Chain A
Amino acid sequence: MKSLRLPAALAALAIAATACSGGGGEEGGGTGQYPRAETLYTTGTAWSAPTSWNPMMRGGYAVGTIGLVYESLFHYDPVTGEYVHWLAESDEWVSDTVHEITLREGITWTDGEPLVADDVVTTLELGKIDGVSYSNVWNYVESVEATDERTVTVTFSESRPQEWMNWAYSNPILPAHIWGDMEETAVTDSANENPVGTGPYVYESHADDRMIWERNDDWWGVEALDMDMDARYIVDIVNASNEVTMGMLNQNEVDLSNNFLPGIDQVLNSNENVTSFYDGPPYMKSANTAWLVPNTTRAPLDDVEFRQALAHAINITEIVEGPYANLVEPANPTGLLPEWDAYIDQELVAEEGFRYDADEAVGLLEEAGYLDEDGDGFVETPDGEPIELTLEVPSGWTDWMEAARLIAEHAQEVGINITAEFPDEALLRDHRNSGEFDLVINNERQLSNTPWTYYDYLFQMPVQEQQTTVNFHRYESEEAWDLTEQLAAVPVDDVEAAAEITSKLQEIQLAELPAIPLWYNGLWAQSTNTNWTNWPSEHEDTPNSAPTLWNGWMEQGGITTLAEIEPVE
């Protein structure tokens, strides 16, 4: 077997080369292995290799950059509906338009510099750069000043506390001594390889398929908040296929998975080691609402009666029980999440809210003059034009594809000709943003501190050529937008005043149906209990926080969850 030697040597060489190229000089001390007892394995947050740690690069940074490394002034607890002072020690509304925030004492950046009021000022000032996602704060912030070392005074040209507090808990404070003198393009475009933050974790290392965070032992929260992070390392695994994730869950190789896994209900029921928030359906908390978004600039979707008929035609129970196997719940007709119960006008909903009723849908269509004159089984417009609508959902989103097929079926049963189409996601996004669609499903707005974010999503004006984040349905109502702006101006702790406005908004929304709420997408979270335990659940003796490390949720309970979980001895 003489001739085998060369290939064998080549193989060995190739493997050695792989090893060298992989070992890009990480100087992790000690052995090369993360101790299992101190390491938390998570997945379900990142969709591609981590390449940036720049919190200004929205959608581009490694998940955890905001929350684990960079922290915000406040956190928001959606369970109690309260703001938690985070970097801020206290805050006071001096008047309607002046908010005074005092920072905690003794917080330091990981490079040793102290956190000062100037950092907050600089962070807000950065919003004046094109391409920073929160540039719109300057629509209502007049000025921001550091009154002393630890006090920041924000003056508003227009009082919008709900909107402002949303900014304050979802945007991180950056160190002025690093970001203050940065070039504009670097602010939004640099990879920021050495993130200097104040948070409980720091960057450890990364590879194409993982992001590793190491505990910051000097974190201020250990003392100030009495929070202990038992996990010394967090290894966040970039999403692989559902099968791979499922296999890892079953073999306890991953501790927390924040992905929708079809068939997870069977695992939850059969494998005692894998748990979710609720023991029974829907298993998960709700995270956002999936809306059926009609293009209200196109006939016949511009007709309220037609939209009402469509809303009555959809048998949402069949979707929830079918493709979702009860992992989600049908949405309230207002679309507001269960956490916003206080803002829902129940009487109004009982009276005006739509529910599945095929006969009613047929009746509504007839009343509005949509009749099937040519006998093809589908109605035409009052002018006799045939109606052919498409409902687009991204190809590969299997649960949505199933749901879209069912919606099309239900609509056809009452005579509305809808067909489901599955274009590529990027293509769909182009269609959606430019208004070149009939119907899409969308769930981009998450649970937040205020239903204002949902009404902003439904009613924001003016409608532009490209609608990239909100109002994809291109619905225009001055009255509704006025009310939404009024809602932004309600003091944050005045739920009653807010509920009064939301009730008016619901009246418009239920009558006009700019978008039709379908179901609540879950806060997908399945955890294994072999190595880490005390996961949030409905039980009394466990924490109640959001069991997720999704982007945007760290400030809404994710960090609390990290502090609460305990290693199994």
Chain B
Amino acid sequence: MWRYIGRKLFVYLLTFIVAVTINWMIPRFMPGDPVQSMLSRAQVSDPEALEAMTSYYENLFGLNAPLYEQYLNFWAGLLRGDLGISVMRYPEPVTDIILGAVPYTLALLLPAILLSWVVGNRFGAFAARSKILDNTVLPVGYILTATPYMWLALLLAWSLGIVAGIFPASGGYSFSLRPEFSWLFISDLISHWFLPFLSMFLVALGGWAIGMRNMIIYELEADYANYLQALGAPRKLIRRYAFRNAMLPQITGLAVQLGTIIAGSLLTEIVFNYPGLGSLILDSLNNRDFFLLQGVFLFVVVGVLIANFIIDIVYVLIDPRTRVQMTGGSS
């Protein structure tokens, strides 16, 4: 078991290093110079002052060092939790900006992923039982899962937000409120959260429901199910066994899908102008803010890696076969 975890950890560490390196490289190969854009915002025309400021900022952002040194400095800063200073929101540190946005993204992602997975699986399993449900759930599920996140988000924002006016279609909370721990504020927060959550939830839901429905049908035709049936076991019991077996590929699916879902959440945030990491990525791209951009990507990469790791561990816990394999036993 520990060897398994150790091996997994090693692979994750390797992935992390590669991801961080790519992440560091991409902004540096993009056109445009962040210091130049800061200076032109400052409207300084005096050449001497310009030169002095250029070297001051290059020094501040560490851009005057040779590339390999910048790379090493980046790692050193990373280990101290220091991701540098944002150009767009100068002089705010990147870490602070990201920490301000992460709660919003997590509040969308966690419930959307977990709820859609749980509800989707239940629903899919349920649908596999009845002909009528199967005939309706299947096409709806296909449509949902094939819908791009952004498109569904736009539809929801337009229908429920603008036309019906039930939910606000943009922002994190109303412009008329001060952030505080009161019922008014929290209910406002939830009403702003609902539409982005719903659009992510719905898209993911379809996929899980279809997957589960197919798995259940497959499992019900497996030998053990037939055997149980022949023994005269109650249908309910057979279905429970089928469900448990069908869960396993769904968990693997979750690990595989995680990246797509996170990418989708970034797009959803942009559509709803929701103040999470997705909106930050868009803003920092528009403003050539390398440091913020690489910080956000880093956060996303780390998030995906951690989530995958957790799923790996969960998998070991719920599937006895992997456990047996790891301990070297033969069944």
> A residues within 8 Å of B by Cβ?
1, 3-4, 6-8, 10-11, 14-24, 26, 28, 31-34, 36, 39, 41, 48-49, 51-52, 57-60, 130-133, 135-136, 185, 189-191, 205, 207-210, 235, 237, 240-241, 244, 247, 251, 253, 423-424, 426-427, 429-430, 433, 464-466, 468-470
Contacts and interface: CB of A to CB of B under 8 A. Distances in A.
Given A32-B177, A58-B43, 20 more contacts: A4-B119, A10-B110, A17-B103, A17-B106, A18-B189, A21-B103, A33-B178, A41-B175, A48-B88, A48-B89, A51-B89, A59-B43, A131-B44, A131-B56, A133-B44, A185-B56, A190-B91, A208-B101, A209-B172, A427-B32
Contacts of B189: 15, 18-19, 22
A430 B32 contact: yes
Interface string B180-210: 1110111001100100000000000000000
Contacts of B181: 19-20, 23
B45 A469 contact: yes
A23 B111 contact: no
The 4 A-B residue pairs with the shortest CB-CB distance in the complex, in nearest-first order? A59-B41, A426-B32, A11-B111, A7-B114
Nearest to A26: B178
A56 B211 CA distance: 59
B104 interface: yes
Given A22-B179, A26-B180, A52-B90, A131 B49 contact: yes
Contact of A14 (B32, B106, B180): B106
Contacts of B106: 14, 17-18
Contacts of B184: 31-33
B171 A209 contact: yes
A133 B107 contact: no
B175 A28 contact: no
B179 A10 contact: no
Contacts of B238: none
20 contacts: A1-B122, A4-B115, A7-B110, A19-B189, A23-B181, A24-B179, A28-B180, A32-B180, A41-B175, A48-B88, A51-B90, A57-B42, A60-B38, A130-B52, A207-B275, A208-B101, A240-B273, A427-B32, A466-B50, A469-B45
A512 B176 CA distance: 54
Given A14-B103, A240-B273, A23 B90 contact: no
Nearest to A462: B47
A60 B41 contact: yes
Contacts of B42: 57-60, 131, 133
A190 to B, nearest CB: 7
B47 A235 contact: no
Given A33-B176, A52-B91, A130 B103 contact: no
Given A15-B190, A470-B45, A49 B104 contact: no
A190 B90 CA distance: 9
A18 B107 contact: yes
A433 B50 CA distance: 12
A36 B177 CA distance: 11
Contacts of B172: 22, 207, 209
B319 to A, nearest CB: 17
Nearest to A210: B175
A426 B36 contact: yes
Contacts of A470: 45
Contacts of A57: 42, 90
A41 B175 CA distance: 8
Contacts of A33: 176-178, 184
Interface size class of B (residues with CB under 8 A): 35 or more
A65 B104 CA distance: 29
B39 interface: yes
B199 to A, nearest CB: 16
Given A7-B114, A26-B179, A426-B31, A468 B287 contact: no
B213 interface: no
Given A7-B118, A131-B44, A237-B175, A15 B186 contact: yes
Of the listed residues A423, A466, A470, the one surrounded by the most CB atoms of chain B closer than 10 A to its CB is A466
Contacts of B111: 7, 10-11, 14
A49 B32 CA distance: 21
B176 A34 contact: yes
Nearest to A43: B175
A433 B114 contact: no
B169 interface: yes
Interface string B18-49: 00000000000001110011111111111111
A39 B179 CA distance: 17
Contacts of B217: none
Contacts of A21: 99-100, 103
B38 to A, nearest CB: 8
B200 to A, nearest CB: 13
A25 to B, nearest CB: 9
Contacts of A41: 175
A7 B115 contact: yes
Given A19-B185, A426-B288, A466-B47, A28 B91 contact: no
Contacts of A469: 43-45
B294 interface: no
A136 B175 contact: no
Given A11-B115, A48-B287, A190-B91, A28 B178 contact: yes
A60 B90 contact: yes
A24 B99 CA distance: 13
A433 B33 CA distance: 12
B53 A209 contact: no
Of the listed residues B103, B115, B185, B273, the one surrounded by the most CB atoms of chain A closer than 10 A to its CB is B103
Given A51-B90, A240-B273, A468 B178 contact: no
Interface string B110-125: 1100110011001000
Nearest to B162: A247
B44 A58 contact: yes
Contact of B176 (A15, A59, A235): A235
A58 B39 CA distance: 9
A4 B31 contact: no
A433 B180 CA distance: 46
Given A14-B107, A131-B53, A241 B179 contact: no
A29 to B, nearest CB: 10
B179 A429 contact: no
B92 interface: yes
B173 interface: yes
A130 B53 contact: yes
Contacts of B56: 131, 185
B182 A427 contact: no
B265 interface: no
A17 B107 contact: yes
A15 B41 contact: no
A300 to B, nearest CB: 27
Nearest to B168: A253
Nearest to B161: A247
Contact of B37 (A14, A209, A426): A426
